[in-house]
């Protein structure tokens, strides 16, 4: 399938449905087509504006799915109707398919008790699942090389990294140098959700695209992050959408 994208503040976002994204990614896993999947949100874009290396990683990712309502809204302002593809859902669906196809996976990130709980839960949910490597996400940069060596020896086809952005995306970049043919996804706090230490927003919040409000109420430390990035992101997106409309009218 040919890649169809639209830029939000200079960053590509793939335009596809949840099912299409699953199909594209499974194809890549099957064909050992090394891939970095980014589950993009406004905070990541704002961080990338201050961090050139992270910005490069986002721009070079083979697939960028709109994880947040902020990105969905940004595209809507530009006249594009794109459904939100939550990283927590798509990453789990891919685990289910990897289990069916006997493709080994790896899990890196979160606290020790969380990763252990996730491993147990996934093994009981998908009994054919092979987790060829897993470890918690609390390690120093000096340990990176050793961990990446262990990961490469385990040779998983699908690798989930939960260190939060931008740490996870930068770690994936490093892993890809040693293990280039795997498919990687940065999943933020998904392991906490699967382990049950963080709860998912009720349906009502999802319907009104307000999952982020629920997450902020549950984890008030997020307020600082959102307050610092969201207003500026929305302001820039509105300007960009207006400029695009003017250019469209001018026929540029």
Residues in the site for ligand UDP, rule: CB under 6 A? 109-111, 137-138, 162-165, 188-189, 191-192
Nearest to ligand UDP of 104, 137 (CB atom): 137
Q: Which residue is nearest to ligand UDP (CB)?
A: 137
CB 182 within 8 Å of CB 98:
no
Q: Pick the closer one to ligand UDP by CB: 227 or 248.
A: 227
Distances (CA, A) of 235 to 40, 72, 74: 18, 15, 10
**Phi, psi (degrees; rounded to nearest 5) at 159:** -125, 125
**Closest residue by Cα to residue 105 from 188, 39, 162:** 162
Cβ(106)–Cβ(159) below 8 Å: yes
Give whichever of 227 and 243 is closer to ligand UDP, judged by the CB atom: 227
What distance lies between CA 54 and its chain's CA centroid? Answer: 14
Tell me how far, at minimum, the Cβ of 85 lies from ligand UDP, in Å.
14
* Cα(6)–Cα(176) distance, integer angstroms: 25
d(CA 228, CA 93): 32
CA-based torsion, 209, 15, 93, 116: positive or negative = negative
Q: How far is the CB of 192 from ligand UDP (least distance, A)?
A: 5
User: Is 63 in contact with 24 (CB distance < 8 Å)?
Assistant: yes
Q: How far is the CB of 196 from ligand UDP (least distance, A)?
A: 13
In the complex with ligand UDP, the residue whose CB is nearer, 26 or 160, is 160
For the chain, counts of helices (H) and of strands (E):
12, 8
Closer to ligand UDP by Cβ: residue 180 or 196: 196
Minimum CB–partner distance for residue 243 and ligand UDP (Å): 29
Min dist CB 138 to ligand UDP, Å, is: 5
Pairing of strands 158-162, 11-14: unpaired
Least Å distance, CB 132 to ligand UDP, is: 19
SS3 129: coil
| Least distance to ligand UDP, CB of residue 49, Å | 17
Smaller CB distance to ligand UDP: residue 232 or 238? 232
CA–CA separation, 45 vs 31, rounded Å?
30
Q: Which C-beta is closer to ligand UDP: that of 26 or that of 170?
A: 170
């Amino acid at each position: 399938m040919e890649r169809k994208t639209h830029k939000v503040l200079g960053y590509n976002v793939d335009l596809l449905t949840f099912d299409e994204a699953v199909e594209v990614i499974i194809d890549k896993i099957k064909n050992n087509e090394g891939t970095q999947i980014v589950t993009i949100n406004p905070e990541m874009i704002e961080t990338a504006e201050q961090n050139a290396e992270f910005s490069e990683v986002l721009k070079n990712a083979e697939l960028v799915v709109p994880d947040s309502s902020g990105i969905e809204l940004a595209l809507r302002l530009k006249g594009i109707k794109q459904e939100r593809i939550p990283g927590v859902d798509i990453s789990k669906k891919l685990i289910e398919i990897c289990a069916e196809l006997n493709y080994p996976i790896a899990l890196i990130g979160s606290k020790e008790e969380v990763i252990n709980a996730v491993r147990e839960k996934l093994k009981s949910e998908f009994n054919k699942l092979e987790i060829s490597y897993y470890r918690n996400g609390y390690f120093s940069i000096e340990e990176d090389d050793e961990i990446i060596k262990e990961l490469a020896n385990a040779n998983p086809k699908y690798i989930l990294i939960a260190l939060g952005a931008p740490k996870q995306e930068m770690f994936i970049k490093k892993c890809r140098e040693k293990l280039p043919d795997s498919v990687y996804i940065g999943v933020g706090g998904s392991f906490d959700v699967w382990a049950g230490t963080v709860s998912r927003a009720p349906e009502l919040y999802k319907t009104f695209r307000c999952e982020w409000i629920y997450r902020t109420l549950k984890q008030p430390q997020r307020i600082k992050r959102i307050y610092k990035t969201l207003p500026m992101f929305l302001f820039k997106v509105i300007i960009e959408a207006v400029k695009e409309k003017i250019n469209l009218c001018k026929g540029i």
